[in-house]
Amino acid sequence: MIEFSCFKCGTLLQFPERVGIREECEKCGEDVHVCKNCQFYDPGAYNECREPSAEVVLEKERANRCDYFQGGGSRSVKEKKEDLMSAAEALFKKK
């Protein structure tokens, strides 16, 4: 089971096997097979992708035919943000 959150609205999405290129979020209607929903998506990386063999995709929020797509990017970005916030709070916490 593939499970991740929509990059646009945060709705939890579930797919039995693969995420098809025509899949849409059931809540907001956005494309699901997009860079911003992929585990390899990284705004700080070259071409905003950590997969070195992937072709360049210019529109990160539109459906694409990338063979390396792996759902889960939105959830991991949120978790990273929470981890960074926790670390910052711990660093600047008054004693």
**pTM tops 0.85:** no
Boundaries of every domain in the chain: 2-91
Could you report the per-residue pLDDT of 27-84, keeping only the tens digit for each? 999 999 999 999 999 999 999 999 999 999 999 999 999 999 999 865 555 566 776 7
pLDDT at 94 over 60: yes
Pair of tokens at residue 36: 């911003």
17: confidence class by pLDDT, cuts 50, 70, 90: confident
Task: Give the number of other CB atoms < 10 A from CB of residue 15.
Answer: 14
CA angle 46/47/51 to nearest 5° reads 80
pLDDT at 89 over 70: yes
Spatial distance between the Cα atoms of 67 and 31, rounded to a whole number of angstroms: 16
The reported pLDDT for the residue numbered 93 is: 78
